């Protein structure tokens, strides 16, 4: 699946952007709808993560990973009350994420939200990820550049994993070669 990330000089309303969704599940039945909307505001990546749970348990998590040619990826770990950002090598499966999440510093500028719409109750956060993180993840924030993205919904107390891409047999869930290819456009 190919995806497009718009690069804009002015802020965009996340609800007007297409949503990358968790559509493939391993380890159990599909249970929680999760969506990521993202674009580049000048040289920073703007991300809105929405998780459809009315009252999220403390163990509820969403992960948004993005990376480029460096083989590294940056991962936003979103819990109901905190967001963290970490740089991992491209072979860290979600099973290793609790330790990475625990070691990552809090992302202080996350704007958390809750609400309800025709799909139900939700919670989430909006984050602006600066150019230094894009550089660490090997992303060139320029029209025509490509990078990979992946979205996961998981819980620290369950083996069920929701992904935004089909998992090839024998593949680790967050191998960047399986990410959704994303091209930056104006």
Confidence (pLDDT) at 12? 95
Q: How far apart are CA 19 and CA 47, in angstroms?
A: 11
Residue 103: both structure tokens together? 């070691």
Structural domain boundaries, residue 147: 2-185
The rounded mean pLDDT for the chain is 81
Residues whose CB falls within 8 Å of the CB of residue 112, separated by 6 or more in sequence, listed in order: 81, 83, 123, 124, 125
Residues whose CB falls within 8 Å of the CB of residue 150, separated by 6 or more in sequence, listed in order: 63, 64, 65, 66, 163, 164, 165, 174, 178, 179, 180
Residue 21 has pLDDT above 60, yes or no: yes
Q: How far apart are CA 91 and CA 26, in angstroms?
A: 18
The winner for highest mean pLDDT among 68-72, 110-114, 160-164 is 110-114
**Domains in the chain, number:** 1
How far apart, in Å, are the Cα atoms of 12 and each of 6, 19, 39, 45, 126? 9, 14, 8, 12, 12
Pick the closest to residue 138 from 87, 99, 177 (CA basis): 87
Confidence (pLDDT) at 104? 74
Q: How far apart are CA 85 and CA 37, in angstroms?
A: 17
pTM, rounded to two decimals: 0.85
CATH number at residue 74: 2.60.40.1190
Give the model confidence (pLDDT) of 53-86 as tens digits: 888 888 888 888 888 766 667 778 788 888 888 7
Helix (H) / strand (E) containing 13: none
Residue 116 has pLDDT above 90, yes or no: yes
């Amino acid at each position: 699946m190919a995806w497009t990330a718009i690069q804009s000089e002015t802020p965009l309303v996340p609800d007007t952007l297409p949503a990358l969704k968790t559509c493939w599940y391993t380890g159990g039945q599909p249970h929680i709808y999760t969506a990521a909307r993202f674009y580049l505001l000048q040289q920073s990546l703007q991300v809105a993560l929405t998780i459809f749970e009315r009252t999220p348990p403390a163990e509820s998590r969403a992960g948004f990973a993005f990376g480029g040619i460096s083989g590294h990826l940056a991962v936003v770990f979103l819990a109901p009350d905190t967001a963290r950002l970490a740089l991992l090598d491209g072979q860290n499966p979600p099973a290793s994420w609790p330790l990475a999440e625990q070691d990552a510093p809090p992302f202080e500028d996350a704007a958390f939200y809750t609400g309800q719409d025709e799909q139900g109750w939700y919670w989430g956060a909006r984050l602006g990820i600066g150019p230094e993180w894009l550089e660490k993840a090997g992303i060139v924030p320029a029209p025509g550049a490509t990078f990979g993205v992946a979205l996961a919904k998981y819980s620290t107390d369950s083996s069920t994993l929701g992904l935004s891409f089909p998992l090839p047999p024998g593949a680790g869930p967050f191998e960047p070669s399986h990410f959704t290819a994303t091209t930056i456009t104006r």
